[in-house]
Amino acid sequence: MIHRCCPSKRSMLEVKFAVLYQAVEATVVSTKVVRGSWMDHYRGQVVCRNASASEEDIVLLDSRDGSMPVNSDGAVELSRSVVSVELSGLLIFHVVASRVNDEMDVIAEVSAIFTPMVGGKSKSTCDLGFCEVEITVAWSLFSTLEDLCCHNIL
């Protein structure tokens, strides 16, 4: 894994890069509270990890000091929704609820494991006790250099 930080006057850009073989794109098309409700005094974090590439979490949402951004339909508004994963690997999601003023006070933490596919959609539900969160992922295959050359795109 390659890791670089690029500071500027007002912010810090952090870039992490890993080479993945036979990678597919995982797009989180829906993260939704399907049973119960997310409590206003709970902050939320949704992260995922490419089990074959690294032990690094990819943060899809961290509500930090505020409550979880859940709209009236129960949809959770993620900050990031696309990650890459090796076709032979696993994509592991973690949904964590903790108190707004104390991220160390974890109320519930649940994992969902997805097996990558070359296309289509897959779903999994995380039961946090006070609510259930359903995650839907759409899968798409990346073009290879060979594909691009064969179709005269390069």
**Banded model confidence at residue 30, pLDDT cuts 50, 70, 90:** very high
Tell me what pLDDT residue 64 has.
81
- State the Cα–Cα distance between residues 61 and 43, nearest whole angstrom: 10
Per the prediction, the chain carries an average pLDDT of: 88
Q: What percent of the chain has pLDDT over 90?
A: 57
The region of weakest confidence among 29-43, 44-58, 88-102 is: 44-58
Asked if residue 114 lies in contact with residue 107, where contact means CB atoms within 8 angstroms, the answer is no
> Stretch 76-101: mean pLDDT, rounded?
92
Which residue in this structure is represented by tokens 């995650």?
135
22 phi-psi bin (left φ>0, alpha ψ -120 to 50, beta other): left
- Exposed / middle / buried, residue 128 (Cβ in 10 Å: 0-12, 13-18, 19+): buried
**Banded model confidence at residue 104, pLDDT cuts 50, 70, 90:** confident
Tell me what pLDDT residue 151 has.
58
Neighbours of 33 (CB within 10 A): 20
Domains of the chain: 22-150 (2.60.40.150)
Tell me what pLDDT residue 147 has.
63
**β-bridge mates for residue 12, sequence order:** 7
Tell me what pLDDT residue 154 has.
56
Count of alpha carbons within 13 angstroms of residue 113, beta-carbon side: 5
Q: Is the pLDDT of residue 66 over 90?
A: no
Q: Is the pLDDT of residue 107 over 90?
A: yes
- State the Cα–Cα distance between residues 16 and 23, nearest whole angstrom: 16
Q: Tell me which of 28 and 89 has the higher pLDDT.
A: 28
The structure's pTM equals 0.84
The region of weakest confidence among 37-41, 62-66, 121-125 is: 62-66
